[in-house]
Amino acid sequence: MNPLRPKILVVDDTPANLVAMRRLLARSGADIFEANSGNEALALCLDHQFALVLLDVNMPEMDGFEVAQFISETDHLSETPIIFVTAAYADDINRIKGYTSGAVDYIAKPINDVILQSKVKIFLELYRARALLQQALDELSLRNRQLTSEVAERTRMEQLVRHQATHDALTGLPNRVLFRDRLEAAIEAGDGGGARFALAYVDIDGFKGVNDAHGHAAGDELLKAIAARIDARTRGTDTVARLGGDEFAVLLHDAADAEGALARCQSLCDTVGEPYMLHVGDLPIPARVGASIGVTMFRAGASYDDIVAAADGAMYEAKRGGKNRCVLG
């Protein structure tokens, strides 16, 4: 059914009047509904949205005034225009009563065909214009909701892409790209008189043995467990990054001296060395590894490459010295 095709309700208790109105409105372009009592009219109003109600005033049981009053006081019906069709049009008291009840116009009996059709035409054109406007508003509202959803999804995807570009897919830690950004920012802050920091390079001792013995799935689970332990034992302001393979870096902010930095790294070494119980499928796999950690303190004027080389060199010294230890470089 065309939502823009209007409906007209004709209410009259005289069958001959209904037939006459049906004939007069046949070419109105509207669907015509008929009711021969006030109660029947109200029932139809509750089931349909009418562009116009042509309402006889004088009816038994419930007259036109009562029907109009009910329609005007019902929220979703109150906008429905009502034209009273009555022989008492010249009576000012009845006209005022009709307008008070909610009527917007009167048509006198006997009905003048031209007057009826011209008035009906005006209200149908008004209905169609309002229906078109509401349709446009509904389409605009739907499009706005779609755009809002599309923008939110695009924003989510952009955030996801940015996160994936700067974070390790396996452990969720910052990757080498984000690590470099943060280390360079710390160097710039340190050169400007900001807080001192330390850089630790962590290489996992014994990881290859677990990976070779139990497979890559077990190795991945071990790396995730190690990452979680290191992250849990560092401060919220520190940066824990996975550089690749079984190598990690930790940017230790507010490291005032080498002794304190070494103590923090020893804590990391101890937590990495605690036993693991890995779960690959339904199979529990016990594992134990260690960590060789090289740590270097920030020195004013040192470049990114200088600091990274110092930490990396200290880490290899720790491995050469027996592994599972911390060395200051």
- The set of catalytic residues is 246
Please check whether residue 301 is in contact with residue 191, taking contact to mean a CB–CB distance below 8 angstroms.
Answer: yes
Q: What is the largest CA-CA distance in the chain?
A: 116
Sheet holding 247-253, edge to edge: 239-244, 247-253, 197-205, 290-297, 326-328
198 contacts 293 by C-beta, under 8 angstroms: no
Q: What distances in angstroms separate CA 137 from CA 17, 80, 126, 255, one per listed residue?
A: 39, 20, 16, 61
CA distance 109 to 222: 94
Q: Which two tokens stand for residue 234?
A: 């560092």
